[in-house]
Amino acid sequence: MPLYGGIEAGGTKFVCAVGTGPQDIRAEVRFPTTTPQETLQRAVDFFRAQEALLGEPLTAVGVASFGPVDLIPDSPTYGFITSTPKPGWRNVDVVGLLRYALGIPVGFDTDVNGAALAEGLWGAAQGLDTFIYLTIGTGIGGGGMVGGNLIHGLLHPEMGHLRIPHDRERDPFEGCCPYHGDCLEGLASGPALEARWGVRAEHLPPDHPAWDLEAEYLALALHNLVCVLSPQRVILGGGVMKQEHLFPRIRTRLRSLLNGYIPVPALLTQEIETYVVPPALGDRAGVLGALALAMRVPTG
């Protein structure tokens, strides 16, 4: 069985793993995201050390990256992290640097497409060909598959920046997206919760009014996503979704917003409990996604 490497490239930390799948992770390491040179070098050093230790070469590596990233195969900046506000990381040729240093094919996609791929192969979306994965954390991002293909296009989806109704009487908070103010991310990300309520999201008790509002925004976004993509399932991950009580609130609100319009049991009945779900791979979706991207890249 060929051995693969995966890099979950996050804005605050990198997680690298070597293995063949979720049941066979041979080694894993995490370190903070510093400069591109230093951070990517640490990843390369880890893979080299593992190859030596295991006595086996890696067949390919995959990178599930924070973005925006260039995924257009014939673009001169394919494989770059492009217009990120993260200092030092603008226009960094991640794929090129890794391919040069390791001499093997490099799979590359967004962190959320990677997580979606892993959930599709090994987690909560097994057997489905059209589904989405949203992460609600420091930002809000979404990826997924349509008809068995990871969603790409002009660039890649930016589901976190959906515009949703914002009742300023109920919620005077103006939103914190630097580009749009009160887009979904501006209203419902972890930092939005903290800015609105003055405490970190993890310190808001379950009976705090923050959570009904949060469920409202996420249900509105899901309403739109369900109408556009017709996903067979929706996976919600990220730090904010550690608040498990959000799931029943979001499901109930999504059902009432859709108002019976889409005639499938998953949206009409209790079956919605299997429709809006947490990631089965939990916090491992990211790095397993990177590994899955490596397994899909053409080799040889």
Parallel, antiparallel or unpaired: strands 106-110 and 92-93: unpaired
Of residues 100 and 179, the one with the C-beta less far from Zn ion: 179
Of residues 19 and 141, the one with the C-beta less far from Zn ion: 141
Cis before 73 (ω within 30): no
| Interface map 127-166 toward ligand ADP (x if CB under 6 A) | --------x-xx----------------------------
Q: How many residues does the chain have?
A: 300
For residue 266 the two structure tokens come to: 């998953």
Count CA within 13 A, CB hemisphere, residue 164.
26
Write phi, then psi, for 124 (nearest 5 degrees). -75, -5
Residue pair 223/274 in contact (Cβ under 8 Å)? The answer is: no
Of residues 59 and 243, the one with the C-beta less far from ligand ADP: 243
Of residues 241 and 267, the one with the C-beta less far from ligand ADP: 241
Q: Which residue number places its CB atom closest to ligand ADP?
A: 190
User: Counting contacts by CB under 5 A, is residue 183 touching Zn ion?
Assistant: yes
- Which residue among 152, 161, 208, 296 contacts Zn ion (CB under 5 A)? 161
Tell me which residues in 217-276 interact with ligand ADP (CB under 6 A).
238-240, 242-243
Parallel, antiparallel or unpaired: strands 106-110 and 58-65: parallel
| Closest separation in Å from C-beta 282 to Zn ion | 27
- Which residue among 43, 106, 177, 240 contacts Zn ion (CB under 5 A)? 177
Of residues 161 and 296, the one with the C-beta less far from Zn ion: 161
User: Counting contacts by CB under 5 A, is residue 174 touching Zn ion?
Assistant: no
| Closest separation in Å from C-beta 138 to ligand ADP | 3
Residue pair 164/185 in contact (Cβ under 8 Å)? The answer is: no
- Which residue among 58, 104, 201, 266 contacts ligand ADP (CB under 6 A)? 201
Give, as one character, the DSSP assignment of residue 69: B
Count CA within 13 A, CB hemisphere, residue 231.
28
Write phi, then psi, for 169 (nearest 5 degrees). -75, -45
CA atoms of 117 and 279, how far apart (whole Å): 11
Q: Which distant-in-sequence residues (6+ apart) come within 8 Å of 296 by Cβ?
A: 62, 107, 117
Of residues 170 and 203, the one with the C-beta less far from ligand ADP: 203
Residue 278 partner contact from Zn ion, ligand ADP, none using kind-dependent CB cut-offs of 5 to 8 Å = none
CA atoms of 147 and 131, how far apart (whole Å): 9
Q: Measured over all CA atoms, what is the biggest interatomic distance in the chain, rounded to whole angstroms? A: 63
User: Counting contacts by CB under 6 A, is residue 186 touching ligand ADP?
Assistant: no
Number of residues that bind ligand ADP (CB under 6 A): 15
- Which residue among 180, 208, 249, 296 contacts Zn ion (CB under 5 A)? 180
Which residues make up the interface to ligand ADP (CB under 6 A)?
A: 10, 12, 135, 137-138, 190-191, 200-202, 238-240, 242-243
Interacting residue ranges for Zn ion, rule: CB under 5 A = 161, 177, 179-180, 183, 185
